[in-house]
Amino acid sequence: MYTLRVLLNRYWLMQQTPFSPIRWHDNHLYLLDQRLLPEKQQELVCQTLEQAATAISDLVVRGAPAIGITAAYAVYLGFRQSRQDPAYDLDAALEFLTKARPTAVNLAWAVSEQKKILQVESENTAEMLLVNAKKIHVKDIEHNQLMGDFGAELIKPGSRVLTHCNAGALATGGYGTALGVIRSAWAAQKLECVFASETRPWLQGLRLTAWELAQDGIEVDVITEGAVSSLFSQQNIQWVIVGADRVCANGDVINKVGTANLAILARHYGVSFMVVAPLSTIDTATESGELVPIEQREQSEILGTYYQSENRVSAWNPVFDLTPAGLVSALVTEKGVVLSPDKQKITDHLRLK
């Protein structure tokens, strides 16, 4: 039973970690600005829904679960704004929020969860929204720890693993999905070595994953994307472990661009491929990955300042790609493990109590 007292106690415990990607304090939302890591640890303070939505779209906060948590708090901020300003259009604001990062299904899920509260008129709506946002936050960390343990059970002692992008505490409420498995496996002394791809063009693997693991005392080797084939052929890797921004009904995975490359190479070299994602990331309304719109980001993220005045040079910059379900060895959720996931297995998994 999630009473306010229980939530506050658990929420206080969450703040005792070495860093907190998302904090709620004194009626303000604090987001660790991931654009500045690892050089600087600085928080961005959000007092309005619009500030939180912009933080999502500008990559201050990133990772599907973290985006969902941020959105949940943002709905509360928007409701508070609507009570302070009768002219404030909350419906339009919620639509603006939902469009901040459309590929990450957790965003729409969190807004939908908060809308259920908004649809019931109550004098306690504001308190209910805030309690629910904190519940989503706390449950995410609890689920991450469960996924970490479930995924670690698949890993044999002495294993060497590779992860891509950042699916750690920074991408969630804390602990992490893919990095949660790595944390649990490391604590169980099952890992001989951890590799992280640098992850172009924003270098989340280099800037964020390597930084996170170092904070926890976990040794990590960073590699370029182009070195993955050589890594698989020379370093005896057992698992690729990644998160997901969306898992479709048939098991197709939408994740940071470059994930599909890893899955294809892993299959060629006989390396197992693990996707770690909470149930809120499973999109049963979308049959397959081909139906998911892939977000295109600014060309400047790739081109930098080199070609600002050269109209013959442009860039194609999709931020996600599609990994077919047939390339996934295991899908790990807070309910357990789905081996070789497909539509029927995922449907059965969702029915588990």
Catalytic residues: 245
Token pair of 238, please? 């057992």
Given a contact cutoff of 8 angstroms between Cβ atoms, the answer to whether 337 and 148 are in contact is no
SS3 annotation, 186-221: HHCCCEEEEEEECCCCCCHHHHHHHHHHHHCCCCCE
Classified as helix, coil or strand, 331 is strand
Q: DSSP character for 170?
A: G
Reduced to 3 states (helix: H, G, I; strand: E, B; else coil), residue 111 is helix
- Angle at the Cα of 28 from the Cα atoms of 25 and 34, rounded to 5 degrees: 90
Task: Tell how strand 28-32 and strand 22-25 pair up.
Answer: antiparallel
- DSSP one-letter string for 256-291: ETTHHHHHHHHHHHT-EEEEE--GGGEETTS-SGGG
* Residue showing tokens 């404030």: 88
Residues 167 and 176 sit within 8 Å (Cβ to Cβ): yes
How many CA atoms lie less than 13 Å away from 353 in the CB half-sphere? 0
Stated as kind and residue range, the H or E segment containing 181 is helix 178-187
Phi, psi of 178 (to 5 degrees): -60, -45
Q: DSSP letter for 327, please.
A: G
Give the strand pairing for 191-197 and 159-163. Answer: parallel
Determine contact, residues 163/242, Cβ cutoff 8 Å.
yes
What's the number of CA atoms in the CB half-sphere (13 Å) around residue 343? 8
